[in-house]
A and B are shown apart, each in its own frame.
Chain A
Amino acid sequence: MHQLLPANLKESTTIVAIAPDPLDKLGDIIPKVKARTDDKFLITLLADADHATIDRYGLLNEQAATRGRFLPHPTTYVLDKKGKVTWKFTEIDYKVRPTNEMILTALKKLP
């Protein structure tokens, strides 16, 4: 995603990804992503091991939680420089994700 950003957006955009993984498992995804790109890994990965942040955002998948899996409904937000949500994509079906183009369009609208 980050390498797709035009130079001016690279400068002004941070990509942060939050998962309900413990910190020591979080980095396991990095080689997987690196295998698909030559660029540096420029996404900040954060561990929400007790899913408190997922809960605060209202994203807990209750069905999975009843089976002891505390997963979020995958959700992407675009935030402006003040932390205000200017775009959001959330979907109960985890296979449905926003395209990079959709996110880019939202970012380009920001000052």
Chain B
Amino acid sequence: MNNTLSRRASLFAMAGLAVAQQPSPSDLNRVKVGDLAPAFNLPSAAGGNLTLQQLRGKNTVLVFYRGYW
């Protein structure tokens, strides 16, 4: 019984840790001047996918906008 409880407690603790280690989706200082931009691979309106890697060799203006709504 005690064993099960403590096992459960440690599972909860691990789950909590996993949540804590997940970087916050809302941290405006995450990507700063001087950092390498984080990788992405996203579908393009022009067809196919585009990765950040494919933009290497050109200067890029990367804009996040709120979309069509």
Contact = CB atoms under 8 A, between A and B. Distances in A.
Nearest to A106: B61
B45 A26 contact: yes
Interface residues of B, number: 40
Nearest to B63: A17
Chain A, interface residues (CB within 8 Å), range: 35 or more
- Describe B's contact surface by its main secondary structure: loop
Interface in B15-49: 23-38, 40, 42-46
Contacts, number: 179
- Describe A's contact surface by its main secondary structure: mixed
Interface of A: 1, 9, 12-21, 23, 25-30, 44-48, 51, 53-62, 65, 69, 71-88, 90, 92, 94, 103, 107, 110
19 contacts: A14-B58, A23-B43, A45-B45, A54-B25, A55-B25, A56-B38, A58-B23, A58-B24, A58-B31, A59-B64, A72-B64, A74-B64, A78-B62, A79-B55, A79-B61, A81-B56, A81-B58, A83-B56, A85-B35
